[in-house]
Structure 1
Amino acid sequence: MSLDLSIVVPLYNEEESLPELMSWIHKVCTEHQYAYEVIMVDDGSKDSSWEVVQELSRQYPALKGIKFQRNYGKSAALNEGFKASSGKVVITMDADLQDSPDEIPELVQMIRSDEYDLVSGWKKVRYDNAITKNLPSKLYNGVNRLVSGIQLHDMNCGLKAYRRKVVKSIEVYGEMHRFIPVIAKQAGFPRIGEKVVQHRPRKYGVSKFGWERFINGFLDLLSIQFISRFGKKPMHFFGFWGTAAFLVGFLITLYLIASKFFFEGSLINKPAFYIALTTMVLGTQFFLTGFIAELVSRSSSDRNQYLVEETLRLKHQPQTGENH
């Protein structure tokens, strides 16, 4: 039987919140008569979270569990949860009870309306510390909107809804879970919506994220933008800028040589000489980097993997009629 809904819950040291979360999800899904599954992915918890998941699975047949041998990160947990999901709509939510399962029906309806491929939650009113979390989050999301062109107020919100085809078409790795809307858009799913959702105060435990995630986030954003545009054609980036830098240095050198003949003077005593030399060396290195990257890209096993939406009569079919 095809499931209406898959709910993927990555977790790390959340033993106290899991029973309440599962009970809440079950209540909401039962009230709306969803054929559903919950996939809890234990990201190497050091407490008894996995034992709690095992116990809950005996109480709730819809609950499935995946346990990592060690902590790999939220992206890895989401990626494995996406692989295991089978629902027509996939919901992701955090395990700390700061995401409300009561939001699920509206998110499901937005996906079912066929207007969106992905709907991201927006915690418009937050209960986090204004200085250590809210302010950096606003700056982070502002840069995301500027660079990616996706107008979401809270791209990193854990509460999201996806059409099944989206999660089966993307790969989430490293710390790229922050940029799933960007990855989805680049995979050919541009219909991205937003819904204001309730943000609840943390009831148990402490936050697992620190300041370093904002620094890493900006670096990851640059990486994903570069890979999406030049991953299969790195020479277009490195070759262009390498050639441009070399030509600038070469033209400066020609100017210096000409000036020596016409105006006399030493070349090596002029700062422009060292600028030209440095620019030509950097340009050559950039060009060679692009050349090597192109060789690596051409040798990659996934160099010709593309997402195909639909095919029509690709297989040879013998014709029984005569041509007129």
Structure 2
Amino acid sequence: MNLNSPKSLLTVPTGSLQISELLPTYVDADDEPIYFSLIIPTYKERDNIYHIVKILTQLLDEFIPDKYELIVVDDDSPDRTWEVAQSLTGEYPQLQVMRRQQERGLSSAVIRGWQAARGQVLGVIDGDLQHPPEVLTQLLRGIQEGADLAVASRHVEGGGVSSWSVVRRFLSRGAQVLGLVILPSVLGRVTDPMSGYFMVRRSAIAGATLNPVGYKILLEVIGRGTIGGITEVGYVFCERKEGESKVTWKQYVEYIHHLVRLRLSTGRLGRVRRKINFPIDRFLRFGLVGLSGVFVDMAILYLLSDPATLGWPLTRSKIIAGEIAILNNFLWNDAWTFADVSMRQQEWHQRLKRFLKFNVICLAGLVLNVLVLNLVFNFIIPNRYIANLIAIAVATIWNFWVNLKLSWRVTDVK
């Protein structure tokens, strides 16, 4: 075999996002131990990948020669970043490449890379050269001196941002303040909890099932890992020279979602949740879908029952509005709330079976809804819209719990 020929691509790990304390199965017992594994998650970075690999190799060859590996995890970039990276493996033997075709997202890419990694210390760095590579050696020193986690921070001495707009600075700081309010036990431990440039001991996160949303994987590491000492090193976040920025409003929404999820699954709330075994995340998605159904329901109810429109009787109008909202909610729940189950049962008859169950359960909920609506409207609050909202809330809890137990279950798979 030609020593300069590219290596084969790494197999993408599957299953839960959990880091094992044991080395991956593909590692031979005779292989030299690796101290540090650095993950470089990429998407459309073919213009940067050669430069980042070259710079990192030069740095680490001097600091820990032959004791490190670089793993590029590419989300099947349309510019074939993974192919460019694979072509470099002959020149850089410490480089390995993983091409993900079924999953997407920076956080899960990092975790899949860590699952395939051999190092005692696991790290992550952006592939766009916005994280200065020379900071790596300072982070490694922090780990060697006993820290479980070493974070590159923009908010300590020596840190900053190069040319951010006032709006972006405001959003970044605002997100941090919001995080301190929602999850002080996690965000209060570091000055830059939104940093995507850090390293952690494998033993500090081994066995924890990570469940990230969006880009901010550091929140998961601190929130779910067993993190003792933390050290921070200042760095200046640079503007990218090649490629396009991937920061959008979606990342801020995912950040808030991530904070809420961690808040509900860790600490006292997490312990309570585990005791009652109630799927809060799924219920929140179900609730958001139900909120879309509220708008559908309210709009149809107005068109049918309001004296200024058709002026139909309230009960008849409510039944029609509710059935249309049921169809809306099923489509969204099947595609999002219970997508993990739906993906394993995609035959048309399976989908029809789920819809029929959902419809029957929701029709029972609709009966409950109508009863509560009339009870509240006639005896408590003589306002049709407030009464309707209360009726919807009661029916939502019924619909979620019974559908969870009956409609979206894996009972027929190949």
Same fold (TM over 0.5): yes
User: Which 5+ residue runs of structure 2 have no aligned equivalent?
Assistant: 1-31, 281-376, 410-414
Q: Deviations over 1:158-181 (max 9, x none)?
A: 210111223433444552541433
Tell me how far apart the structure 1 counterparts of residues 242 and 125 of structure 2 sit (CA, whole Å). 16
Q: Structure 1 residues 285, 172: closer, same or farther in 2, change over 3 A?
A: same
CA RMSD of aligned residues (A): 3.2
Tell me, yes or no, if structure 1 residue 73 matches structure 2 residue 101: no
Residues 39 and 73 of structure 2 are in contact (CA less than 8 Å); yes or no, is this contact kept in structure 1?
A: yes
Q: Structure 1 residues 131, 291: closer, same or farther in 2, change over 3 A?
A: farther
Out of 103, 122, 135, the residue aligned to residue 170 of structure 2 is 135
Shift of residue 4, structure 1, vs aligned partner: 1.7
Tell me how far apart the structure 1 counterparts of residues 243 and 130 of structure 2 sit (CA, whole Å). 12
Out of 16, 19, 22, the residue aligned to residue 50 of structure 2 is 19
Shift of residue 284, structure 1, vs aligned partner: 8.4
Correspondence 1:23-172 to 2 at 5 A: 23-34=54-65, 35-69=67-101, 72-114=104-146, 116-123=147-154, 124-149=159-184, 150-151=187-188, 152-172=190-210
Shift of residue 218, structure 1, vs aligned partner: 0.7
Tell me how far apart the structure 1 counterparts of residues 35 and 259 of structure 2 sit (CA, whole Å). 33
Partner residue, 1:233: 275
Q: Deviations over 1:186-242 (max 9, x none)?
A: 33325444321232221111102212211221122112221331552346898xxxx
Shift of residue 270, structure 1, vs aligned partner: 5.1
User: Which 5+ residue runs of structure 1 have no aligned equivalent?
Assistant: 239-266, 300-324
Partner residue, 2:235: 197
* More displaced stretch, 104-113 vs 172-181: 172-181
Residues 21 and 97 of structure 1 are in contact (CA less than 8 Å); yes or no, is this contact kept in structure 2?
A: yes
TM-score where L is the length of structure 2: 0.57
Partner residue, 2:37: 6
**Equivalent pairs, count:** 268
Residues 43 and 71 of structure 1 are in contact (CA less than 8 Å); yes or no, is this contact kept in structure 2?
A: yes
Q: Secondary structure at the match of 1:58?
A: coil
User: Residue type matched to 1:271 in 2?
Assistant: I
Over the matched positions of the two proteins, sequence identity in percent amounts to 21
Tell me how far apart the structure 2 counterparts of residues 169 and 128 of structure 1 sit (CA, whole Å). 40
* More displaced stretch, 274-283 vs 134-143: 274-283
TM-score where L is the length of structure 1: 0.71
Partner residue, 2:310: none
Q: Structure 1 residues 192, 272: closer, same or farther in 2, change over 3 A?
A: farther
Shift of residue 143, structure 1, vs aligned partner: 1.3
Q: Secondary structure at the match of 1:90?
A: strand
* More displaced stretch, 128-137 vs 17-26: 128-137
Residues 213 and 257 of structure 2 are in contact (CA less than 8 Å); yes or no, is this contact kept in structure 1?
A: no
User: Residue type matched to 1:127 in 2?
Assistant: S
Tell me, yes or no, if structure 1 residue 271 matches structure 2 residue 306: no
Out of 241, 250, 267, the residue aligned to residue 212 of structure 1 is 250
Q: Structure 1 residues 292, 7: closer, same or farther in 2, change over 3 A?
A: same
